[in-house]
Structure 1
Amino acid sequence: MDIFISINNREQVIKLPVLPKEFKIQSGMKNETFDTIGQGEIKLIGMESLKSIVIQSFFPNNDYPFLRDRSYRGWQYVEMIEAWKDRRVPIRLIITDSPEELVNMACTIESFEYGKQDGTGDIYYTLTLSEFKFIKLAQKEV
């Protein structure tokens, strides 16, 4: 399995060097419940809500044999993601399990928490992403 995050049609790509222990995608619905006089409580099925995912792992400062990518080190990953946040554009999350693509969605960075927690110099992080839907407007001729 590999996890990639990128910006602006692969202008910059990060292949996560250390896979998270697990990932779960939250996918919900915007259902509504109403109280009626004659039928009591009823539920209306709404539209799908935006998906979200939380990724927890670390960016290595050292060269470990289990790394999936060695393009950057520790704080370089943090600097790239912080720069992406400053640009205020969606990023792309791709999760593959060769040859199958499990997830491919545009996302926004909801939060990015990071810091050191031991003497290795590795940067432990929690990255929370939320689905981004591009707005499709119909064009009308005048």
Structure 2
Amino acid sequence: MDIFLSINNREQVIQLPVVPSEFKISSPMNNETFTTINQGVLKMIGQRGLKSLTIESFFPAKDYPFLRSREYFGWQYVDIIEAWIDRRVPIRLIATNTPINMAMTIENFEYGPQDGSGDIYYSLQLSEFKFIQFETRLV
């Protein structure tokens, strides 16, 4: 599996150089609970919430034999993602060999050196972005 992040219909694409060993997608529901006089507690099934996930890995400062991409190194990845945050546009997350292909927003991006290797360890929190669709009515 490879993970790609892009903006603006592939205007700029990055492939994560080190794929995390795991990540999980949270798929919440907006259910509500009501207390009634005669029937006690009732659950009303609501609409789906926004999916989210966190990717934790590192951006290598030098070449390693296991890298999936060698286009950028270390702080270059940080600069690209920080620029995307400043642009305030959704990003696209694609994980190959899976059905994961989602528009996302960056909710939080934590990063920094950790072990003296020069590698930049990061945590990237993403949340689903739904494009607004308007209905048109013919009069």
TM-score interval, normalised by the smaller of the two chains: over 0.9
Match of 1:118 in 2: 115
Task: Output the TM-score relative to the length of structure 1.
Answer: 0.95
Q: Deviations over 1:81-121 (max 9, x none)?
A: 00000000100000112xxx420000000000000001110
Q: Secondary structure at the match of 2:81?
A: helix
C-alpha distance in structure 1 between counterparts of 2:116 and 2:106, whole Å: 28
C-alpha distance in structure 1 between counterparts of 2:89 and 2:105, whole Å: 8
Matched residue type, 1:45 = I
Match of 1:137 in 2: 134
- Identity level (%): 69
C-alpha distance in structure 2 between counterparts of 1:62 and 1:133, whole Å: 37
Number of residues of Structure 1 aligned to a counterpart in Structure 2: 139
CA displacement at 1:29 relative to structure 2: 0.3
C-alpha distance in structure 1 between counterparts of 2:114 and 2:131, whole Å: 37
CA displacement at 1:139 relative to structure 2: 2.8
Q: Secondary structure at the match of 1:126?
A: strand
Matched residue type, 1:117 = Q
Matched residue type, 1:134 = F
C-alpha distance in structure 2 between counterparts of 1:74 and 1:6, whole Å: 18
Where structure 1 has 5 or more consecutive residues not aligned to the other structure, the ranges are none
Match of 1:92 in 2: 92
Task: Output the TM-score relative to the length of structure 2.
Answer: 0.97
Match status 1:14 vs 2:14: yes
Q: Deviations over 1:4-54 (max 9, x none)?
A: 000000000010000101010000100000000110000000000000000
C-alpha distance in structure 1 between counterparts of 2:138 and 2:48, whole Å: 31
